Chains A and B, each alone.
Chain A
């Protein structure tokens, strides 16, 4: 079964540092997403990406966040200057087509710890 792959599985970074979380979506999917889960809380939508641009973002996704699809396979989330409150599990997801949530698939997550 096709998978969404996320690397690294765990990253520790110092406050104020930039961090890049990486994802390889399923190859024939067109829509890409990032979600965040702060410890003990629910999973929250951050951003969706289609046709090489952001299609929707939540109020959480402020100027310190950016997303990119630098090549044909990777999808990245960059946090410019990390804060303690950015510590969370970050999930990447992809889906094949709009209004087709059948293939919506999450990666296994990257646990980001900001110290």
Chain B
């Protein structure tokens, strides 16, 4: 069965420090992977996605993620965190059904940024 694990429920980093949010997936075929960010009470904003090709994917707001098939991971990184990055981050894998695609989400990681 498809699943996504985000091992860290909360992460706190200092403003200006680097960030890595972990994501591990379970999926039999080549995965399509997403990272979304959600501010409290708000919708899902797509940060980046991986479908194929280059395993290092660039996204919006200075985020990047690296797909590592051998580790079944798709970790999100940012070299220097800004206070406005405080939010909840969700990793998701696409499960292809007969008619359509379903996203399976991880439980999320809440990022806190301290000044």
Best-buried of B44, B92, B100 by chain A (most CB within 10 Å): B100
Contacts A43-B90, A111-B41; is A31 near B107 (CB within 8 Å)?
A: no
- When the two chains form their complex, are residues B99 and A108 in contact, meaning their CB atoms are under 8 A apart? no
B21 to chain A, nearest CB (A): 14
A89 to chain B, nearest CB (A): 8
- When the two chains form their complex, are residues B99 and A55 in contact, meaning their CB atoms are under 8 A apart? yes
We find that the number of chain A residues with CB closer than 8 angstroms to chain B is 28
- When the two chains form their complex, are residues A101 and B101 in contact, meaning their CB atoms are under 8 A apart? yes
Contacts A42-B108, A99-B96, A101-B94; is A31 near B43 (CB within 8 Å)?
A: no
B7 to chain A, nearest CB (A): 14
- Chain B 7-51 against A: per-residue CB contact (8 Å), 1 yes, 0 no? 000000000000000000000000010101000011110100101
Q: How far, in angstroms, from A108 to B39 measured CA to CA in the complex? A: 12
- When the two chains form their complex, are residues B99 and A102 in contact, meaning their CB atoms are under 8 A apart? no
- When the two chains form their complex, are residues B44 and A106 in contact, meaning their CB atoms are under 8 A apart? yes
A87 to chain B, nearest CB (A): 13
Q: Is A48 an interface residue (CB 8 A)?
A: yes
- When the two chains form their complex, are residues A42 and B107 in contact, meaning their CB atoms are under 8 A apart? yes
Taking CB as reference atom, which chain A residue is nearest B32? A101
Q: Is B97 an interface residue (CB 8 A)?
A: yes
Q: Is B104 an interface residue (CB 8 A)?
A: yes
Q: How far, in angstroms, from A22 to B97 measured CA to CA in the complex? A: 24
- Chain B 83-112 against A: per-residue CB contact (8 Å), 1 yes, 0 no? 000000010101011111111111110000
Binding site for B on A (CB under 8 A): 31, 33, 35, 41-45, 48, 50-51, 55-56, 89, 91, 93, 95, 98-102, 104, 106-109, 111
Top 10 closest A-B pairs, CB basis? A55-B99, A108-B43, A31-B100, A50-B99, A48-B100, A43-B105, A101-B94, A109-B43, A42-B105, A42-B107
10 A-B pairs, CB-CB below 8 angstroms? A42-B105, A42-B108, A45-B104, A89-B43, A98-B96, A98-B97, A101-B51, A104-B103, A107-B43, A108-B43
